[in-house]
């Protein structure tokens, strides 16, 4: 405890000493947005004036010169490479652009391994490793052996919990068919959320707070709901049991229902995206408080540092909860939508 207090005091004092020597304005908005957005290299830290970052491969397809694949370090500092460079401002600020013969900038087809993609791939590998590791522990296990320990036990606990509390009640009698999908979604989102909370490589990337990621997840749920929907489900959309005036000359209810098909996954997408992005933004802003107040003198800076650290710890704890909660909510709503679309279907799997 004593050591902890000393350490905290030290942390408080550091900016006080630093406050006098450092100058220059800090653009909090830019820092936060830069983190929330994507980048072509994975910035780890800055020592003095030297940036330490992992360069990632840039893969672009130009209409004129075909495929290009090179390291992002070649574009560092706005230099041009093979006719490409990082746009400094304008519509494509921060993106790789192709410089045309007339000097104008166009956006090539870009499937670069950006920071988000790299983090996504790493997280995907971790998910596969976790689940397959647990599955492997079960494959050789006899029924009457004792319950597994360690990783498999942890996964089992979560799977069992989700299955009993969420998938069985929500997804209807055919839950066995959808359980693997729902569990995949849960673990995928949870792991991406948690990895985003780790503030250094290989975590810290804002993967689940990226709209493209949540879009694909929502699309998957959309497909799961509508591809396996029952006759009853489709009938309820296009010809619900309502007074005929509500559906016959002007199909009011069917239109509303049809829009509802798309708004449900859309809400899923926005909810996950906004929650995770906001979490990252809040934590980053709180951290920036330290640097913003550096120009206001040592006393304010010191006290604000304490406040910032305290709030950051609180926010991180909250984000841990949110990370689980958002994964849970996404899975639960997916299960509910699937369950609704399964209505009127007989139980096909008899076990």
Partner 1 sequence: MGLLQPETGLLIWMVIAFGVVFIVVAKFGFPVILRAIESRKKFIDSSLDAAHAAEKQVAETGEKVRQLLTEAEQQRAQMLKEVAETREQLLQAARKAADVEGERLMTEARNRAEAERQAILRDARQQVALLAIAVSEKMLRAQLPDSAAQTLLDGRLIDELQNQTNKK
Measure the CA–CA gap between 112 and 316, rounded to whole angstroms.
31
- 166 token code pair: 């969420």
- 16 token code pair: 């006080």
Q: Does 117 bind partner 1 (CB under 8 A)?
A: yes
Smallest gap from Cβ 319 to partner 1, in A, equals 18
Q: Does 257 bind partner 1 (CB under 8 A)?
A: no
Q: Does 144 bind partner 1 (CB under 8 A)?
A: yes
Whichever of 135 and 299 has its CB closer to partner 1, that residue is 135
Q: Does 311 bind partner 1 (CB under 8 A)?
A: no
Measure the CA–CA gap between 130 and 150, rounded to whole angstroms.
11
Q: Which stretch binds partner 1 (CB under 8 A): 118-126, 258-266, 286-294, 332-340?
A: 118-126
Q: Where in 70-109 is the site for partner 1 (CB under 8 A)?
A: 93, 109
Whichever of 21 and 348 has its CB closer to partner 1, that residue is 348
Q: Which stretch binds partner 1 (CB under 8 A): 12-20, 29-37, 62-70, 230-238?
A: 29-37
Task: Report the candidate in 54, 32, 170 with the shortest Cα–Cα distance to residue 115.
Answer: 54
Binding partner 1 (rule: CB under 8 A), the pick from 86, 131, 195, 218 is: 131
Cα–Cα distances (Å) from 314 to 24, 171, 294, 318, in that order, read: 29, 35, 22, 6
- 92 token code pair: 């494509």
Q: Where in 150-189 is the site for partner 1 (CB under 8 A)?
A: 155-156, 159-160, 163, 176, 179-181, 183-184, 187-188
The string over 269-293, giving b where at least 16 C-beta atoms fall within 10 Å of a residue's C-beta and e elsewhere, is: bebbbebbbebbbbbbbbbbbbbbb
Place of tokens 């992992």: 54
**Residue 176: how many CB atoms within 10 A of its CB?**
15
Smallest gap from Cβ 70 to partner 1, in A, equals 15
Whichever of 220 and 246 has its CB closer to partner 1, that residue is 220
Q: Does 63 bind partner 1 (CB under 8 A)?
A: no
Measure the CA–CA gap between 42 and 40, rounded to whole angstroms.
7
Hey, is 14 helix, strand or coil?
helix
Write phi, then psi, for 75 (nearest 5 degrees): -95, 5
Q: Does 320 bind partner 1 (CB under 8 A)?
A: no
Binding residues (CB under 8 A) for partner 1: these are 33, 36-38, 59, 93, 109-114, 116-117, 120-121, 124, 127-128, 131-132, 134-135, 138-139, 141, 143-144, 147, 155-156, 159-160, 163, 176, 179-181, 183-184, 187-188, 210-213, 215-217, 220, 277, 351
């Amino acid at each position: 405890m004593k050591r902890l207090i000393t350490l905290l005091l030290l942390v408080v004092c550091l900016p006080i000493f630093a406050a006098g020597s450092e100058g220059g304005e800090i653009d909090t908005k830019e820092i936060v947005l830069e983190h929330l957005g994507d980048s072509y290299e994975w910035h780890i830290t800055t020592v003095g004036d030297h940036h330490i970052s992992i360069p990632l491969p840039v893969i672009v397809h130009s209409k004129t010169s075909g495929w290009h694949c090179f390291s992002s370090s070649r574009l560092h500092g706005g230099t041009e490479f093979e006719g490409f460079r990082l746009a400094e401002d304008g519509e494509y600020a921060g993106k790789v652009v192709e410089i045309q013969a007339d000097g104008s900038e166009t956006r090539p087809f870009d499937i670069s391994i950006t920071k988000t993609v790299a983090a996504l791939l790493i997280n995907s590998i971790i998910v596969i490793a976790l689940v397959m590791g647990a599955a492997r522990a079960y494959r050789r296990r006899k029924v009457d052996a004792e319950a597994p320990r360690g990783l498999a036990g942890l996964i089992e606990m979560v799977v069992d919990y989700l299955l009993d509390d969420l998938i069985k009640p929500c997804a209807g009698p055919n839950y066995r068919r959808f359980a693997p999908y729902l569990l995949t979604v849960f673990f995928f989102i949870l792991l991406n959320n948690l990895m985003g909370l780790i503030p250094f490589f290989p975590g810290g990337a804002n993967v689940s707070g990226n709209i493209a990621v949540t879009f694909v997840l929502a699309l998957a749920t959309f497909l799961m709901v509508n591809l396996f929907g029952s006759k009853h489900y489709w009938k309820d959309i296009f010809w619900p049991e309502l007074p005929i005036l509500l559906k016959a000359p002007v199909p009011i209810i069917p239109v509303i229902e049809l829009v509802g098909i798309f708004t449900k996954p859309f809400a899923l997408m926005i909810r996950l995206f906004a929650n995770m992005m906001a979490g990252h933004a809040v934590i980053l802003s709180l951290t920036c408080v330290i640097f913003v107040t550096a120009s206001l003198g040592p006393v304010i800076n010191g006290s604000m540092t304490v406040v910032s650290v305290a709030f950051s710890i609180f926010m991180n704890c909250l984000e841990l909860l949110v990370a689980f909660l958002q994964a849970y909510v996404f899975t639960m709503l997916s299960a509910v939508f699937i369950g609704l679309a399964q209505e009127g279907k007989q139980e096909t799997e008899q076990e």
